[in-house]
Amino acid sequence: MSGSSGESAPMRISIIVPVYNEAALIRLFLAHLRERAPEAEIIVADGGSTDGTDQLATGLCDQVVRTGERSRARQMNVGAWAAGGDIFWFLHADATAPLGCLDEMQACCSECDAAITECFAGELHLSMLADFPRCL
């Protein structure tokens, strides 16, 4: 992606949050996430919550998608299908997004030709990056 000056435009990041009965956490989590990642698209993928999680998330994220079934894989896929970003970050509602997380992802992805990222419990794990120390 190139800007009008020929410089590369930043990649768009979509954060996909699979949830099921997270009413106690979702509002605070999404407020924290929006503070830490204001430029990201945030999609909540609800797996049929019965506690109103989807209603509580509405207005605090860019989109709530409902899968109708509790299946983390299905929720992540439906969230990814709805996402418009170049980079997908899957994050759980009990995780904490670190300060500067989007800048670090941008830097890492722009410097690394081959990057596979996984997010578990808020920790960013990068593999296949042995030749790219900046990204480790």
Considering the domain boundaries, does residue 58 fall inside one? yes
pLDDT, average across residues 6-35? 90
* Predicted pLDDT of residue 107: 78
Considering the domain boundaries, does residue 6 fall inside one? no
Overall domain count for the chain:
1
Distance CA 130, CA 30 (A): 33
List pLDDT tens digits, range 47-88. Answer: 999 999 999 999 999 999 999 888 999 999 999 999 999 889
Give the CATH number of the domain where residue 37 resides: 3.90.550.10
Task: Give the pTM.
Answer: 0.76
Residue 71 domain boundaries = 13-135
List pLDDT tens digits, range 24-35. Answer: 999 999 999 999
Distance CA 136, CA 130 (A): 7
* Predicted pLDDT of residue 127: 47
Contact 9, 1 (CB under 8 A): yes
Residue type, 6: G
Considering the domain boundaries, does residue 4 fall inside one? no
